[in-house]
Amino acid sequence: MLRFLTVLFLTSLLTSPASAACICLKCVFGEHHMFQTSSSAMLPTFAPGDCPIARLYNDTLKPQRGQPIAFEENGQVFLFRLIGVAGDQIQLTDGEVFLNGTALKRERGQSFRLTGKDDMRIALNACDGQTECDVSLTRETLPDGTNYEILDVSDTHLDTTALFTVPKGHVFVLGDNRDNAADSRLASPMGRGFIALNSLIGVFEEE
């Protein structure tokens, strides 16, 4: 079973073998794979224990900005959201994501029940010392209109970053839980850095 990994209090969304409670009928056809998440890095999209299903990556499947992806590094599988492709320039300033010089649109999203079961550190901080409370999500929209909700309720040292230029053959990823994700904002081994396309194993097609 893959280990739960915590780096500098940040989490990468590792997966573990799906439990008996996870059932994927279409996986038997060989084009999909089910993962079971084991951290909070992709809250609210994937919570610990969720069993998301991905289409297996191949040369004909081109992942798009905004899609969650699965990739493997050193025998461990990680799940994050693809934000930038080769040639893109990305920078975060006070939590806002700038893609090629333009800030992604942000607006108030749905209410979300944040609990210590999902992320104790973030819950205690956002809920004034309590282990659960309702928080407002943030809806982030890419230039092509693709949008998704993120959890961004605390100020962290990763809210503002250097300017990243995505190299050829790689992508840039962020966790939907911007307060607690060891993603491309941090270089390996503290985070994930740029992700090589040849390490991708799945693309999640959200409904």
Tens of pLDDT, residues 184-195: 999 988 999 999
Contacts 24+ apart (CB under 8 A), 163-167: 163/89, 163/90, 163/91, 164/84, 164/89, 164/90, 164/91, 164/194, 165/87, 165/88, 165/89, 166/84, 166/85, 166/86, 166/87, 166/88, 166/89, 166/90, 166/194, 167/86, 167/194
Quick one: average pLDDT of 15-22? 52
pTM of the predicted model as reported, rounded to 2 decimal places: 0.88
Task: Tally DSSP H helices, then E strands, for the chain.
Answer: 1, 18
Average predicted confidence (pLDDT) for the chain? 89
Structure tokens, 194:
């740029």
Structure-token match 């966790």, residue found: 175
Tens of pLDDT, residues 195-206: 999 999 999 986
Q: Give the model's pLDDT for residue 175.
A: 97
Tens of pLDDT, residues 48-61: 999 999 999 988 88
Tens of pLDDT, residues 112-131: 999 999 899 999 999 999 99
Is 61:32 a contact under the CB 8 Å cutoff? Answer: no
Tens of pLDDT, residues 127-182: 999 999 999 999 999 999 999 999 999 999 999 999 999 999 999 999 999 999 99
Tell me the C-alpha to C-alpha distance, in Å, between residue 76 and each of 44, 88, 164, 190.
22, 26, 24, 14
Quick one: average pLDDT of 76-81? 95
pLDDT band at residue 23 under the 50/70/90 scheme: confident
- Cα 41 vs. chain centroid, distance in angstroms? 6
Tens of pLDDT, residues 89-105: 999 999 999 999 999 99
Query: Higher model confidence: residue 18 or residue 50?
Result: 50
